[in-house]
Amino acid sequence: MTSFPLRRKLAVLPFVLLLLGGAAACGGENSKTSCGVNSCTVTFDRGVDASASVLGVKAELVKVQGEMVTLKIGGQTVTVPAGDGQQSDGFDVSVQSVTKDHVVVKISHSG
């Protein structure tokens, strides 16, 4: 009878490790990240080289011209207007806000 609770604990362990590993995988330079299972919100600092590692890819802020934000997601460049979204290499990329100090972008797996 004692082996059943042990099996249940062992079955749950990989899921716990996956969630902890996914949360630990978010991070970057001159940026702040907040990640869930399938999406991350990244706040990039403007005026500096800013990047983040999210969902297994590197996301970089390339430039901001007015309300147009150019990003490099996993090596592919995409330009997205503020308040809108685009697809890039299997990811949905939407620019949530642009201020003089920060750019907030949501990146999620497509489909």
Task: Parse the chain into domains and list their residue ranges.
Answer: 3-109
Confidence (pLDDT) at 12: 44
Please report which helix (H) or strand (E) contains residue 35, including its range: strand 31-35
| Global confidence as pTM | 0.75
Task: End-to-end CA distance of the chain: give it in Å, rounded.
Answer: 43
Q: Which DSSP string corresponds to 64-85?
A: EETTEEEEEETTEEEEEEBT-E
Which tens digits make up the pLDDT trace of 56-80?
A: 999 999 999 999 999 999 889 999 9
Which tens digits make up the pLDDT trace of 5-15?
A: 555 554 544 44
The number of helices, as runs of H, and strands, as runs of E, in the chain is 1, 10
The amino acid at residue 92 is: D
Which tens digits make up the pLDDT trace of 2-57?
A: 454 555 554 544 444 344 444 445 678 899 999 998 999 999 999 999 999 999 99
Owner of token pair 């207007």: 81
